[in-house]
Amino acid sequence: MKPIVVDAMGGDNAPSVVIEGVRQALASGIPVELVGDPSLVTDCDDIALHASSEVIEMAEEPSRAVRTKKDSSIVRAAERVRDGHASAMVSAGNTGAVAAAALLRMKRIKGVSRPAIATTLPVPGRPPKILLDSGAMVDCQPDWLHQFARMGSVFTQVRYEIEAPRVGLVSIGEEAEKGNQLVKDTHRLLADDQTINFIGNVEGRDVLSGEVDVLVADGFTGNVILKTLEGTVQFLVGEIVSALSAQDAAAVGPEALGHLAPIASELNPDAVGGAMLLGVNGVAIISHGSAGATAILNACRVAKDMVERDLVAELSGAVAV
């Protein structure tokens, strides 16, 4: 297969952590190349590097940045996929910019109204859940959410080999009539769709523990869910570590923390590698800005897997029904 192009400039710890992750990917037999600024991406003569001179910063307005920084690593990476030089792209950079660059350069899959970002939510001791859209499209229409449901369902089948993923629509009550207008209108579309296993509305409390595989929401709601979840987990982990590290817990703290470590490690987003942009003509993975080398490695693994299983063709088939 063609190499996976990785954005060397993306993420809080770029390029060093990205290079480290790419090196691990190469060592495990995944063909990978980098795109980035040669004056900053150094000490990696063992990795193919394609030069780009600009960097889109994390806080930049995505579409403006993509329009003006034509020689940025994110835009160049998307172009390498578009032009058939690379089979997939991975970036830990500005999420919106990756989505915009992939959309503008690779274009949409025929029939797709809008792309969506599918984020894997790891759940300790259970299969993960897929949340989409987690931030690509903030103001949505019912038929877009309908496509998100189909694409999320197919992605979950291909990526996690779950046969008929249970698709839930995020709302504020289980009943069909609960929710805002967008959700009520979307509910009817999903209920009538025989190609997905729609189980009805789900609530915020189902995000981790619910009997559901795919959570469908507009990008605003999805992003708020994701950040609330991350923030709550981080806050609680901090409180727990602090309580068990305090002097009065010295006798049991270290061992207790050892028993809790597996939970924290299963919740670590690095393990899933990144979020998948669904609906564009190519495989694009967006890793967390704070991604470590393991996250980059895992993102490359997932990218390879999705190329080999031809995710794009599967998605194309799902929206064409």
Query: Which positions lie near a copy of itself, rule CB under 8 A?
Result: 59, 61, 124-125, 135, 138-139, 170-172, 175, 177, 179-181, 183, 203-210, 218-221, 223-236, 239-240, 243-244, 246, 248-249, 251-253, 255-256, 259-260, 262-263
Give least dist CB 130 to a copy of itself, A.
16
Give least dist CB 174 to a copy of itself, A.
8
C-alpha–C-alpha distance, residues 93 and 99, integer Å: 10
Give least dist CB 202 to a copy of itself, A.
10
Give least dist CB 46 to a copy of itself, A.
37
Give yes or no for a contact between 73 and 10, defined as CB atoms under 8 angstroms apart.
Answer: yes
C-alpha–C-alpha distance, residues 225 and 231, integer Å: 10
Between 40 and 263, whose beta carbon lies closer to a copy of itself? 263
How do strand 275-278 and strand 283-286 relate by DSSP bridges?
antiparallel
Between 51 and 244, whose beta carbon lies closer to a copy of itself? 244
Between 189 and 208, whose beta carbon lies closer to a copy of itself? 208
Please count the other Cβ atoms lying within 10 Å of the Cβ belonging to residue 301.
Answer: 17
Give least dist CB 262 to a copy of itself, A.
7
**Residue type (1 letter), 233:** V
Between 67 and 235, whose beta carbon lies closer to a copy of itself? 235
Give least dist CB 228 to a copy of itself, A.
3
Under 8 Å CB-to-CB from 230, ≥6 apart: which residues?
A: 269
C-alpha–C-alpha distance, residues 174 and 212, integer Å: 13
Between 19 and 226, whose beta carbon lies closer to a copy of itself? 226
Residue with tokens 């109204």, as numbered in its chain: 113
**Residue type (1 letter), 43:** D
Between 1 and 138, whose beta carbon lies closer to a copy of itself? 138
C-alpha–C-alpha distance, residues 165 and 240, integer Å: 34
Between 42 and 228, whose beta carbon lies closer to a copy of itself? 228
Give least dist CB 182 to a copy of itself, A.
8
Give least dist CB 289 to a copy of itself, A.
12
Between 71 and 239, whose beta carbon lies closer to a copy of itself? 239
Strand order in the sheet with 166-170: 49-51, 32-36, 4-7, 88-91, 283-286, 275-278, 116-123, 126-132, 214-216, 166-170, 197-202
* CA distances, 313 to each of 154, 229, 238 (Å): 10, 32, 43
C-alpha–C-alpha distance, residues 105 and 67, integer Å: 11
